[in-house]
Amino acid sequence: MRTLLLLTALVACGGADTDDTTTDTAEATSPTAATNPGTEPDDPEDTDGTDPTDDTDEPVVIDELPGPCSFSFDSDGDGIDFAQNFRYDLDGRMVYFDWDDGGDGLGGTSDSFHELTYADDLLMLEERFGFDGDGATYSASRTSYTHDGPGETQRLWDFDSDGEVDNIDTITTVDGPDGGTVETTASDYGADGEVEFIVIRHRSALGDLFLFETDSDADGVVDDADRYVNTYDADGNLLLYSIDDGDDGDPDLVRTYEYDDSGNRLVFIEDSDADGSVDVHDTYTYAIDDPALPGRLLTTTSWGDDDVIDSVTTYVYDGTPYPESADVDIDGDGSVEHRYLYEYDADGNPLRTEYDEGLDGVIDWWSAYDFGVHCVGVD
């Protein structure tokens, strides 16, 4: 999905897994074809719609939905806490998203919106941020991009939308070792021609960030660096991930993973301070031999650093590839204390998640998505 703030919302609401530490329980799958009620002009000479051979009234086929049209979240069951709306162009690129604090419509002091436009080569050309200043009107800042050829982009910041550039980031990307890239961002605060801050990102041929360097005074000397390690097996499954803050040779966090022959994750272990002890330990079971649910996640068991089971989550299916509920045993004693309820559309997109703490029949929090073509190709 081409989403920005949505990723944070997904984590908060138990949806897609973005930190790769657990197995997703409500992973969306995209439809293979959909149609937008709008039109795609193919006859530029037909300016008045009188050409009977023009098929501009035919619907545009959208092979894959780029993401949800809206998202809402209620943290305590008493009403929406925040909502978001998203719009995309026909190429699947996000052109608009907003943040509606309270879900009561844009206009509050915590609300915001973003409008994005693109150049024909798919590179982002301009991003406009709207921030509510007084509850009624919006001020705006603009971020525009200029492309000076392959590998070089300038990001121009106009914080008060007065037409004057306030900051300039010059982003240069060159080839790195072993098919990777090195991206350097030089920041000119005040747009006075002087670079004050430099960030260098080193990526592997797979696109993984493996070294992040900062030159905080732009004197050409790296002042701080963090190193990341990603190790994969021959099938592309992540086996090890580590972070070395300061790049001093001593990792500060280590995560390891194990899989079965089908690529299903069996074990996740985290050593959160890299002292050799296990701080998080999760195991997973799957319906490997069940022809009705081949490969579906059945249980997740979590331990802490004391080898005592913290929770067991059991996923319940009702003839579909997607769980209709998940029962949570918070202490591994065999009794269910909490429950998640899931709803999906026909294409497997998650529509709603509800959480019942204590199995008292009261929904303690919920999240909801809306998917469709009505937000694709819409100005």
Residue with tokens 């329980």: 25
Residue 228 has pLDDT above 80, yes or no: yes
Would you state the pLDDT for residue 44?
35
Which residues touch 44 (CB under 8 Å, ≥6 apart)?
Answer: none
Task: Tell me the average pLDDT across 27-35.
Answer: 32
Q: Which residues face 60 on adjacent strands?
A: 36
Task: Please check whether residue 229 is in contact with residue 241, taking contact to mean a CB–CB distance below 8 angstroms.
Answer: yes
Over pLDDT 70: what percentage of the chain? Answer: 80
Would you state the pLDDT for residue 13?
33
Comparing CA positions, the residue from 89, 107, 85 lying closest to residue 97 is 85
Residue 207 has pLDDT above 50, yes or no: yes
CA 140 to chain centre: 25
Q: How many Cα atoms sit within 13 Å of 197 on the Cβ side?
A: 12
Q: Which residues face 155 on adjacent strands?
A: 145, 169
Task: Tell me the average pLDDT across 26-35.
Answer: 32
Residue with tokens 């963090």: 226
Kindly report the average pLDDT of the chain as a whole number: 82
Each residue's pLDDT tens digit, 140-156: 788 998 887 778 999 99
Each residue's pLDDT tens digit, 267-280: 999 999 999 999 99
Residue 212 has pLDDT above 50, yes or no: yes
Q: How many Cα atoms sit within 13 Å of 97 on the Cβ side?
A: 20
Q: How confident is the model at residue 321 (pLDDT cuts 50, 70, 90)?
A: confident
Residue 5 has pLDDT above 80, yes or no: no
